[in-house]
Structure 1
Amino acid sequence: MIATAQGVPDMLQTPPPSVDETEAACIARDFYGLSGDLLRLSSERDVNYCLSTGSGSRYLLKIANEKEPVEYTDLQVSVLRHLEKVAPDLPVPRNLPTLSGEFHAPRASGGRIRLLSFLEGSLLTAPPSDAAMRRSVADAGARLTRALSSLDADYGGPKLLWDLKNAACLAELTEAIESPRLRDRVERGISDFKDRVLPRLDGMRWQLVHGDLNPQNLLTSADGQRVVGILDFGDLVRTPLVCDVAVTASYQIDFTDPLRTAAEFVSAWHAEFPLQDAEIAILPDLIATRLITIITVASWRAARYPANAEYILRNVTNATKGLDTLCDLAPDELANALRKDLQ
């Protein structure tokens, strides 16, 4: 097993809570007065159940990782309440209270309990097959960023490895990458981030962002043409807002045609939430940083939790292909393509 790492937050070093269906049913009954069929859903560090009641209603029952700070749970609740107020048309979950009126409650053996509305739709494929879906993802992400820009939160979230500004911390985890060639490429990318990218981040616009608009956190309509759901606000963080553009773009680019598809995505985001010149210039580096983060964190966590490896490693193949493609481009080739499309 890969050893614990000093720079890694406790939430990523602690397995999800052990909550079987029997306990989940008790939680639903005792805290929310609900009963029905339970289906466990995949999750990286929490435990999630879909609760289907006899009346046909569905809910998401969430039991947070025991190492999640209560301030972070509060932040997730506050963000969803803020979005309900300022952007009610955004398709995000709603907080649902306990029988005593609270939006989260402590679990006796660790972790905190929440209930959310259940959003219907199909998980997005990666990469999307057409420009319309790609633009819809960009539009949804930009609208969410705009809505979050008006939230003045005192707490900006814990240190998260998925937050691109922390990518220098990945260096201590690269031993988990099995391929020597890929490990070397990742390590060179981390060094490049520290030397060229990190010093430029202070000059960017900062705000609270979603942090993880990957395909497993986006739901699409039945015809696959538009986003109808934005899930999982468990990676919220205050960071340069362009990092969220990069995170989302890293899954939406078709790396068999990176210049065209990246330009389609970024131009759609820019139309809803305009990006500054400095943000356009740094975006290709941050997309590469996200791909490096996916490969490194997933490899490290899969080694620690082999029983959940299939879920943890689900995005690594595409991330590796994407990193190879970006490394083969000429310097500034992608940035120039983005600028040209925005003119």
Structure 2
Amino acid sequence: MNPSKEETDGKELLVKKAVSIRPKIPTGFVEDIVRNKYGLDVVDYQELNSYEDRNYHVTVHDSSNNPYEPEVWKHGYILKILNAVDSQYPAIIEAQNSLLRHIRKQDIPVPENVLTISGKAMSLEKVFAEKELKEQYTASYSTYIVRLLRYIPGDVLLSKPCTSGLLYNVGRFIGKFSNATKGFHHPFYNSHSFLWNLLEFSKLKEFVFVVKDENSRRVVDEVLSSFESNVLPMIGQFQKGVIHGDFNEQNILVAEVPGQDDVIPAARVYDVIGLLDFMHVTDTYRIFDIAINIAYMSIICDPSEQLDAGGHILAGLVPVFPLNDVELDVLQTSVCARLCQSLVIGAFNYYQDSSNIYALTTAKKGWPLLHKLWNTPKRVLKDRWQYLIDNYKQTA
């Protein structure tokens, strides 16, 4: 069943009330759930970064008591515990699993879901604040969706040098991903939307009070105005489809690829080998996936290279997934819109929960980048990116 408009606004309402939705997980829960629900015994686990959920990289013993996972995956598993709001809508996981199956058939490397010992794709678990409290009738608890995925070995892109060759490869991968999702449909995505969807960018106005710097607040207001005036009226000319929605430097896995004889071989040091975290998937416009990626890749580049990041990404993307003139024209504003989302929502999440340092990941380099990108004349940036695209064509 699809969530209603009121239900999809649930997370925003909790955010406005400054309610933390990240799961609070007691000691021993990870070991218990992996053993009892998945028939695997934990050797060790490590928590990974996550904005609103809890993710754990789990290694287990060699033997399995799970008939649906008779051979233990040698690379370990990811235990995902969804936040309090998303856990109310199991349909989001059903839709996500359907998408993963679809794009895996198109040779897009994504995690595989592990069934529970009873053959279910997920479980709904009561989590008590303290392990011993579950014996008490009056103990308070929260309910979260829990699932297990096979871990994809590789390094997150953030841990590698942000070179032109890597950016080119990322762009090419996004093009392949965009092509792979063609033809996919799941009814859940017909109405699913949330705060991070760029179509909902105007909702950011309700959270900008956390931006204390006057100049930064002015830039956010200008981007909001430009997006509403220059991007939204043009959506009828954008290519529509299902997008990943969070192509950032921590959701992309890479590995060294020596001895390439493909395009620009000397530059191809790292290539994409995996894509993670499909919680931001929406059925919207493909140009937004590209804008999201350019925003995050630009942040991690050396400041002197930030304005060129988009050009390298587009050079890899457009031969695989061409863009029209209107999409290219709105790209700068869309990139800035995503930067505004990341910076403002991050600041607000930290305002909610000061222990969530991950929410401030983009702040240090993100604000200077937003100012730089927004203050660059559109014609100058488009020409800069087009020069790089043309230069790759000449060297191919």
Q: How does the TM-score come out when normalised to structure 1?
A: 0.91
Cα distance in 2 for partners of 1:142, 1:126 equals 23
Q: CA deviation at 1:318?
A: 2.3
Cα distance in 2 for partners of 1:20, 1:144 equals 37
Q: CA deviation at 1:174?
A: 0.6
Match of 1:298 among 321, 324, 346: 346
Deviates more, 1:249-258 or 1:75-84: 249-258
Counterpart of 1:45 in structure 2 is 52
Deviates more, 1:48-57 or 1:132-141: 48-57
Gaps of 5+ in 2: 1-8, 63-73, 127-141, 258-268, 391-396
Q: CA deviation at 1:111?
A: 1.6
Cα distance in 2 for partners of 1:260, 1:121 equals 26
Q: CA deviation at 1:266?
A: 0.6
- Residues 216 and 10 of structure 1: CA distance in aligned 2, closer, same or farther (over 3 Å): farther
Q: Is the 8 A contact 1:280 1:338 kept in 2?
A: no
Counterpart of 2:157 in structure 1 is 124
Counterpart of 1:76 in structure 2 is 96
Counterpart of 1:317 in structure 2 is 364
Counterpart of 1:181 in structure 2 is 215
Match of 1:100 among 115, 118, 139: 118
Counterpart of 2:173 in structure 1 is 140
Match of 2:185 among 131, 152, 164: 152
Cα distance in 1 for partners of 2:307, 2:55 equals 37
Cα distance in 2 for partners of 1:71, 1:272 equals 32
Counterpart of 2:264 in structure 1 is none
Counterpart of 1:336 in structure 2 is 383
Cα distance in 2 for partners of 1:134, 1:57 equals 27
Q: CA deviation at 1:306?
A: 0.6
Cα distance in 2 for partners of 1:53, 1:273 equals 40
Q: CA deviation at 1:26?
A: 1.2
Q: Which amino acid aligns with 1:297?
A: I
Deviates more, 1:53-62 or 1:10-19: 10-19
Q: SS at 1:275's partner residue?
A: coil
Q: Which amino acid aligns with 2:314?
A: V
Counterpart of 2:129 in structure 1 is none
Q: Which amino acid aligns with 2:151?
A: F
Gaps of 5+ in 1: 1-5
Deviates more, 1:19-28 or 1:152-161: 152-161
Cα distance in 2 for partners of 1:268, 1:339 equals 12
Counterpart of 1:272 in structure 2 is 320
Cα distance in 1 for partners of 2:367, 2:93 equals 33
Q: Which amino acid aligns with 2:78?
A: L
In percent, how many aligned pairs have the same letter? 25
- How big is each residue's C-alpha offset from its partner over 1:295-314, in whole Å with a ceiling of 9 and x where there is no partner? 11111111111111x21111
Cα distance in 1 for partners of 2:160, 2:305 equals 11
1:30 and 2:48 matched: no
Cα distance in 1 for partners of 2:348, 2:195 equals 12
- How big is each residue's C-alpha offset from its partner over 1:85-107, in whole Å with a ceiling of 9 and x where there is no partner? 2x2x3221111111111111211
